[in-house]
Structure 1
Amino acid sequence: MLFSKKPITAKMQKAFFKHAPRFWERRGPISLLLWPLSCLYGLGLRARQLISDLELGQKKGLPVPIIIVGNIRVGGTGKTPIVIALATQLARLGWKPGIISRGYGAQSLSSPMQVTRESDPAMVGDEPVLIAKKTDGQFPMWVFPKRKAAIEALLKQFPATNVIISDDGLQHAGLKRWPAREGGRDIELVVRDARGEGNRFLLPAGPLREPSTRDRDATLMIGMSANNASRHNLNDEYFMGRRAFNLSARLGQPYQLIHSAHTNSLPEIAQASLQHHVLAVAAIGNPQRFFDDLQKEGIALKGIALADHATYTALFFENLAAQYILITEKDAVKCAGIQDERIWVVPQNLALPEAFIEWVTSILHRPDPQGYTL
């Protein structure tokens, strides 16, 4: 069973599910029984949107364009690698990105906080620390549940920033945006993995925070083969009349947790897996994708799926009977201080299509609807 602990709200998690139930994937007796609650949840979403629309003229926008990389399905779909790749590519083109995040899994913050490579994941969240480490601290990054306040704090400290990338935030009504489909400069991206939208019911009968028909500027598909992505484009009503890009992800060269300069190749680990006990552990939104990617490399393993953002202890690993333990980079940021030579970190490298980058930059160069100049 796959586990997901990233909720739309903390109350939703406590009231309904801490782990993604199987009935979220297909419609059946349980999901149909819960469907009336999903209808009430949907009414709440529409009421919130109406309130937001009525207050639209009272909200002050921000002087920089915002790119929101989010998802409508509860749990992770692979947003963070996209944020890293997008910021890196925009910087190569001369932009000066800043990054914001809510900081899931972090302690409650009373004010916006800057994230660095040395930040404590328990304080600011595991994904923000991963972004800071993967980008070598190249981009200013701030976390806070109120994303507008995070942006304002970032811009005050780094006024040269001319584009903001938000890791999640599609459901954050307090962040005023002018989506590209309406002629503004801001961009809303929905990340979708091979699981799709499951049974397409809203919480709690299904896995969706919002209807699959929500407005969006583009869908980014990750973890799908080209043939699978093409089939979805042709036959899935989710994509009808909507822009979509298929992203290519691959596993990088594993390195030892306690000594990152010590690397090993995937073929070598695959060969060792035929003779030794190999485990893969993942506390991410979709652990099965990590396990599947390893198995595609010929690595025979057993996978242990933990709740997204779960923490690790040395004792946890000591109790695992394995000669190789493979983890993700997101897991690695929470394993500082764990001295276990069996643990190997497997990075993921993501390539963004050239057509996608060209489209994004074409939006960023549009005139600002409020007349700001960068």
Structure 2
Amino acid sequence: MQQLIAKFVDEVWYKDHFIGTWLMPLSFIFRDVTRFRRWLYKKGYKSVDKLPVPVIVVGNITVGGTGKTPVVIYLVEQLIAAGYTPAVISRGYGGQSATWPARVNVDSDAAIIGDEPLLIAQQTGCPVAVGPVRADSARLLLENASIDVIISDDGLQHYALYRDIEIVVIDGVRRFGNNFCLPSGPLREPQERIQEVDFVICNGGEAEENEILMQLEGGDAVNMQTQEHKPLAEFRDMQCHALAGIGNPQSFFDLLEKQGVVCQAHPFPDHYAFTEKDILFNAAEAVLMTEKDAVKCRSFSSAQHWYVPVKATVEGSFMEKLIALLKTK
């Protein structure tokens, strides 16, 4: 049922714009409520927490994934190379921790703290904490006095936390769908919000004016049981299945297709809670999935299961500009 609902919503927001127009009155209400809510924070009627170190928010204005997590990982790696000691905070979407905020370790349970924070911790080794109140998560991490910058994975609309730099990531292929706010479209805020952020990163497709192009690249697969690395080219003649529970599953299937790997595709909703039944294909020679999905499936995976790690590459002088701006904060 969850997959059917996700498919229907995707059709309405990104393909069949006619259905979305019937919900436009609700979208107008949602738009005005979001504007009013932000106005309350701007005018001081709602309190804003300011941390003792700069905060970089990596978010989006659409529902669903746009590639924020690879950008966060890229930022952590680049900031460490530049001499900073970053830490990451996140909502921990879908996490079931009994107490918040919660620290994330490389061996944490994705069901408890969320799939994306676990992936960030495993890939970067930097301090990560999750919780609904991001300022509380940050303070937990700031007990380590060496931390000098906080990166918020998502949270553009979490105005209770003061941010020094805002980065918006957009899906360069799907972009803003029908350009309507929820519920008739995918926008969390009106598209005009883009004009107020510091950087706009375009994930794939063609970057428009004032956007920074990012590409996600992956050429290998890693076996989930043996950790063997194998070029994707070696899967071209195999009977493969591919699954993806991310914001835009088609982007993963397209990545495989570009490598010449033809798979039977199985899209799932973002942050989907996989079970063994979901990933078991007896006739398959290989089952390929995203690394984000793999952190939730490792405990019931088999030798037929592989994940495809991806790396973000960002064009031009983005990091130079970001670090120059960070030094002014």
Name the TM tier (shorter chain). over 0.9
Which stretch shifts more, 348-357 or 63-72?
A: 348-357
Asked whether 1:32 is paired with 2:18, we answer no
Contact 2:88–2:152 under 8 Å retained in 1: yes
Give 1:150-169 correspondences, 5 Å limit. Answer: 150-156=137-143, 158-169=144-155
Contact 1:220–1:247 under 8 Å retained in 2: yes
Give 1:321-332 correspondences, 5 Å limit. Answer: 321-332=283-294
Contact 1:3–1:285 under 8 Å retained in 2: no
**1:258 Cα deviation after fit:** 0.6
Q: Which of 206, 214, 223 is the aligned partner of 1:247? A: 214
Residue 160 of structure 2: SS of its match in structure 1? coil
Give me the identity figure in percent: 40
**1:222 Cα deviation after fit:** 1.1
Change (3 A) 1:41 1:81: same
RMSD: 1.9
Q: Could you tell me which amino acid in structure 2 is paired with residue 37 of structure 1? A: L
Q: Could you tell me which amino acid in structure 2 is paired with residue 244 of structure 1? A: E
Matches of 1:349 and 1:305 in 2, distance apart? 21
Matches of 1:287 and 1:222 in 2, distance apart? 14
For 1:258, the equivalent position in structure 2 comes to 225
For 1:147, the equivalent position in structure 2 comes to 134
Contact 2:66–2:247 under 8 Å retained in 1: yes
TM-score by length of 1: 0.82
Matches of 1:223 and 1:22 in 2, distance apart? 21
Q: Which of 170, 174, 177 is the aligned partner of 1:195? A: 174
Contact 1:223–1:289 under 8 Å retained in 2: no
Give 1:49-198 correspondences, 5 Å limit. Answer: 49-55=38-44, 59-107=48-96, 109-135=98-124, 137=125, 139-156=126-143, 158-177=144-163, 186-193=164-171, 194-198=173-177
Matches of 2:18 and 2:161 in 1, distance apart? 38
Which stretch shifts more, 75-84 or 45-54?
A: 45-54
Asked whether 1:211 is paired with 2:211, we answer no
Residue 98 of structure 1: SS of its match in structure 2? strand
CA displacement 1:112-131 (0-9 Å, x = unmatched): 11101011101100001111
Residue 266 of structure 2: SS of its match in structure 1? strand
CA displacement 1:245-273 (0-9 Å, x = unmatched): 1012211311111111x121111111x23
Q: Could you tell me which amino acid in structure 2 is paired with residue 96 of structure 1? A: T
Change (3 A) 1:279 1:355: same
Contact 2:47–2:160 under 8 Å retained in 1: no
List gaps (5 residues or longer) in structure 1. Answer: 5-16, 178-185, 234-242, 369-374
Matches of 1:47 and 1:31 in 2, distance apart? 23
CA displacement 1:98-143 (0-9 Å, x = unmatched): 10000012115532111010111011000011111112x2x11110
Matches of 1:104 and 1:57 in 2, distance apart? 24
Matches of 1:306 and 1:282 in 2, distance apart? 6
Matches of 1:109 and 1:168 in 2, distance apart? 22
How many residues align? The count is 324
Contact 1:86–1:352 under 8 Å retained in 2: no
CA displacement 1:43-93 (0-9 Å, x = unmatched): 111221121122279545111111111111100011101100110011001
List gaps (5 residues or longer) in structure 2. Answer: none
Change (3 A) 1:153 1:299: same
Residue 21 of structure 1: SS of its match in structure 2? helix
Q: Which of 219, 222, 235 is the aligned partner of 1:269? A: 235
Matches of 1:29 and 1:60 in 2, distance apart? 42
Change (3 A) 1:190 1:332: same
For 1:356, the equivalent position in structure 2 comes to 318
Matches of 2:58 and 2:282 in 1, distance apart? 35
Residue 64 of structure 2: SS of its match in structure 1? coil
Matches of 1:28 and 1:247 in 2, distance apart? 28
CA displacement 1:343-364 (0-9 Å, x = unmatched): 1111101123350000110011
For 1:238, the equivalent position in structure 2 comes to none
Change (3 A) 1:202 1:109: farther
